[in-house]
Amino acid sequence: MRSVAEIEALLEEVKDPEIPVISIRDLGVLRGIELIGNSVEVTITPTYSGCPAMDMMRAGVEDALRKAGIRDFKVKQVLSPAWTTDWISAEGRRKLLEYGIAPPPHSADIRALKGKSPAVACPQCGSTDTELLSRFGSTACKALYQCKACKEPFDQFKCH
């Protein structure tokens, strides 16, 4: 039987199909690994209810476990507690930024609390002179922004 740490390392190879540079662990979707006798139970949580990528993430977990020779396993999807962007690791935030997606802030921007758009830094040039173009970007969990400095459009992971 493998350890939880070994299984976690195996699952590091399971990437978000919509953002192939970030693992489900760094995204915070991987919520737990439990060894129950000779069985492995993996718990995952979607970034939002109805996320179409969850089926592929589940299949990725199952494939990784099978390739490692683990046959007795269960992949459980839970909705509570609801996923939050606070679960994205520091490494995950770095990878998002390098991929061209503005990571969500760790805390609320005072402008957002006053009903205005928060300052979102452009992942290309770092400018905060950006504007929200659409509350929905390439996927429902992202918003579409444009940098006024370098003129590049970019996604920002929405804060939940």
Residue type, 156: Q
Residue 13: domain span? 4-87
Residue 9 resides in a domain: yes
**Average pLDDT of the chain to the nearest whole number:** 90
- CA-CA distance, 104 to 157, in Å (whole number)? 5
Q: Where among 28, 52, 87 does a domain terminate?
A: 87
Kindly report, residue by residue over 94-120, the tens digit of the pLDDT. 999 999 999 987 655 555 566 666 689
Chain segment 52-106, per-residue pLDDT in tens: 899 999 999 999 999 999 999 999 999 999 998 889 999 999 999 999 999 987 6
Average pLDDT over residues 15-29: 95
Residues 92, 28 contacting (CB under 8 angstroms): yes
Say which amino acid occupies 124.
Q
- What is the pLDDT at residue 129? 95
**13 and 35 part of one domain:** yes
Query: Quick one: pLDDT at residue 114?
Result: 66
Specify if 93 maps to a domain: no
Same domain, 59 and 25: yes
The reported pLDDT for the residue numbered 134 is: 93
pTM of this prediction? 0.84
* HEC profile of 78-139: CCCCCCCHHHCCHHHHHHHHHHCEECCCCCCCHHHHCCCCCCCCCCCCCCCCEEEEECCCCC
Q: Which of 31, 66, 87 is the last residue of a domain?
A: 87
Domain end, chosen from 87, 110, 143, is at 87
Residue 94 lies in a domain: no
